A and B are shown apart, each in its own frame.
Chain A
């Protein structure tokens, strides 16, 4: 990559906007996902009975089952949220940065 291209991109306010928006968005989602997962793991390690409680009085199904399924669905939904914003807003900014180089 040529130095003039680097300087041009680096000083483009849209580039700064893209990097700061995407970086914070990606890290927030990553931290949320990790928090959900490690909360689950820590509950298993320290208070497994919480997940073993019946879902309602007399039911065989325990709280752990819907919680587990919900984490799987959550992982899918959160990737969907990221892809939705990245395909729209972030890709538009990237395209504009590239066009301004021409």
Chain B
């Protein structure tokens, strides 16, 4: 195992040194290659591969692989959860949104944040007490294993793959701009590194990569926000005044704009963000890496703090960028920022910290992508090996060694799929993918998970059909909505007018679960309902819950 890792890491180093970066020099010429960024990025890769080597020695059992042995502390897990949430898309996207529209960026941030307290109050502890490796363990706890796990695994994989494609395409483009690497080389590099982290280091390496990146990103963003505020003598009023004087939209950036225009979309977006977060498999999986319910709830407390702090920083960064980037060197000849509005944070790094800090932030952005795709891939691989293979295909017959092997093969397959789809979708409009991932998580994963923990009369048939109906409704409405029907297929007008179907699809899922459960008079339904009492006691007290292993 460890020997394999050294061989692969060696191959990768040679690949990176000779292939990718040499290509970059010849393709992009001398001007665009950012040496500081590459050196810092190589340091990050060297450090994280070192961690993977250490983690590989500790990762022996399936429990180690899926949950880092359950030995992560609440504080560490809080940082890792925050890290999963602070993707490159949210760092660059939200600061770019503030740069372009001001106050509207804050509305988005708040929507992303408020799901966390709800997760803490209603699901975090129950999830920890019931689960083992994946959220399907919880959803199928007292129900028939095969159908519920198959549904949950499908929901997980759909979410993970959509999210992965969005991350891969975003990363390819970002790395192209930051490092001067060709798009394909960037996507392959991200894919290969992520396969290395996950197959050899499992959850332990994935968590530590995420923690390191979260610390780097939070420190970098703090420095940028402080430097921006320093420019205005630490007076927010002065910053807003100069920003409104500079910005094309003037004083309008200080109030809600066109982002959330009608009440339906506003409420629907809120539901998608809130329930979607509570249905993302790679985030739910993190609750099984801590030792007990107490650490699980501490994780959410720290995560909420870090995420909230991060969003306040991006708000300052966005407003600071409006003033500080108002110089010819950052502007494209055709108007707007060089590389588009999402590059606001990157350009601001150069404006406040020069080339060295720009290199640092570029390397952090790359590290962010790597950390997030690793977590996603691990969640997807677990759905295949733990849910589909171990519980559905081999009908619950335990063979841990084989399950681990399957999970590693699944990781490599997912990595290859991500690379191929990342390259195929380079020129495609992928804006709908993250929205669709959230819609599926909110409409299929979350309702089944939530009802399995809270509603004693839930039956296998209700969970399966209700979850399926929610999934299909979300899928259909996204396809018929403006993001696919108009922007991709090219029709004049969308059949479903809103970009945010969650309000309808989530309601349909809950209604379906309720309706197909109460009308279920089968033998299986009686077993499902009778098992609720024992499940609820474990849920509430943690009696019989999975413990941590000490190494």
Contacts and interface: CB of A to CB of B under 8 A. Distances in A.
B311 interface: yes
Contacts of B304: 75-76, 79
Contacts of B315: 69
A71 B260 contact: no
Given A15-B540, A65-B103, A101-B543, A82 B237 contact: no
B100 interface: no
Interface string A76-102: 101110110011000100100110010
A1 interface: yes
Contacts of B312: 69, 72
A68 B102 CA distance: 12
B236 interface: yes
Contacts of A48: 255-256
Interface in B239-255: 240-241, 244, 251, 254-255
A3 B270 CA distance: 42
B266 A60 contact: no
Nearest to B103: A64
A42 interface: yes
A86 B541 contact: no
B170 interface: no
B542 interface: yes
B262 A6 contact: no
A66 B263 CA distance: 23
Contacts of A68: 103, 106-107, 109-110
Contacts of B262: 45
Interface residues of A, number: 53
B121 interface: yes
B103 A62 contact: yes
Interface in B249-278: 251, 254-256, 260-263, 266-267, 270
A78 B92 CA distance: 28
A60 B240 contact: yes
B107 A83 contact: no
A83 B125 CA distance: 11
Given A45-B263, A64-B103, A75 B117 contact: yes
A41 B315 CA distance: 18
Contacts of B110: 37, 40, 68, 71-72
B53 interface: no
Contacts of B240: 60-61, 65
Contacts of A41: 260, 266-267, 270
Interface stretch (B173-181, B207-215, B293-301, B464-472): B293-301
B353 interface: no
Contact of B114 (A10, A60, A71, A80): A71
Contact of B267 (A18, A38, A52, A71): A38
Contacts of A30: 117-118, 121-122
B544 interface: yes
Contacts of A82: 117, 120-121, 297
A75 B114 contact: yes
B457 interface: no
Nearest to B255: A52
B114 A37 contact: yes
A36 B117 CA distance: 12
Contacts of B251: 60
Name the interface size band of chain B: 35 or more
B113 interface: yes
A84 to B, nearest CB: 9
Contact of A45 (B254, B260, B300): B260
A38 to B, nearest CB: 7
Contacts of B311: 72
B105 to A, nearest CB: 10
Interface string B81-116: 000000000000000000000010011011101101
Contacts of B538: 1
Nearest to B110: A71
Given A41-B267, A61-B237, A72-B311, A9 B117 contact: no
Contacts of B300: 79, 83
B537 interface: yes
B533 interface: yes
Contacts of B118: 30, 33-34
Given A1-B534, A10-B533, A76-B305, A94 B121 contact: no
Given A9-B543, A64-B256, A86 B117 contact: no
Given A51-B103, A69-B312, A76-B305, A29 B254 contact: no
A1 to B, nearest CB: 5
Given A34-B118, A98-B543, A6 B537 contact: yes
A64 B260 CA distance: 15
Given A30-B117, A64-B106, A83-B297, 20 more contacts: A1-B543, A26-B122, A29-B121, A30-B122, A33-B121, A34-B118, A38-B270, A40-B110, A41-B267, A45-B267, A46-B263, A51-B255, A64-B103, A71-B114, A75-B114, A75-B116, A75-B308, A76-B305, A83-B301, A101-B543
Interface of A: 1, 5-6, 9-10, 15, 18-19, 22, 26-27, 29-30, 33-34, 36-38, 40-42, 44-46, 48-49, 51-52, 59-62, 64-65, 68-69, 71-73, 75-76, 78-80, 82-83, 86-87, 91, 94, 97-98, 101
| Shortest Cβ-Cβ A-B pairs, 7 listed | A52-B255, A48-B256, A45-B263, A26-B121, A68-B106, A62-B254, A72-B308
Interface of B: 103, 106-107, 109-111, 113-114, 116-118, 120-122, 125, 236-237, 240-241, 244, 251, 254-256, 260-263, 266-267, 270, 294, 297-298, 300-301, 304-305, 308, 311-312, 315, 533-534, 537-538, 540-544
7 contacts: A6-B534, A18-B540, A46-B263, A52-B256, A65-B103, A68-B106, A82-B117
